[in-house]
Amino acid sequence: MTPTYLYIQFKIQDIEAFSEYAERVSETTQIYGGQTIAINKSPTTLHGDVGADVCVIQHWPSLEAAHAWHDSPEYAPLRKLRDEKAMRDLKIIPVPAV
């Protein structure tokens, strides 16, 4: 198994509605072995700017576990909420990535 990181940038469109997502997402990640290791609500940009309000880094035991969580029935209602209330960019990074 290859340890994997998920890097997520959110541009939140409705902060009140999105707070439900933020409160509930960790319950679903834990089921599949994921762990949120960093959340930054005011990221500093070194170069470029995608306009993210929040950046998140998650650690997963494997690429398969990250995909299983993202496609899971437990996460499906939150994924719908996420898609409706925020623009996002998700990158999955297996380690070693080289």
Residue type, 50: V
* pTM score of the predicted model: 0.87
Residue type, 22: A
Q: What is the pLDDT of residues 49-84, one digit of tens each?
A: 777 889 999 999 999 999 999 999 999 999 999 998
> Phi and psi dihedrals of 82, rounded to 5?
-60, -45
The Cα 62–Cα 11 span in angstroms is 27
Are the C-beta atoms of residues 85 and 14 closer than 8 Å to each other?
Answer: yes
Q: What is the pLDDT of residues 16-55, one digit of tens each?
A: 888 888 899 999 999 999 999 999 988 888 887 777 889 9
Tell me which of 3.40.50.10860, 3.30.1050.10, 3.30.70.100, 3.30.930.10 is the CATH number of domain 4-89: 3.30.70.100
The rounded mean pLDDT for the chain is: 91
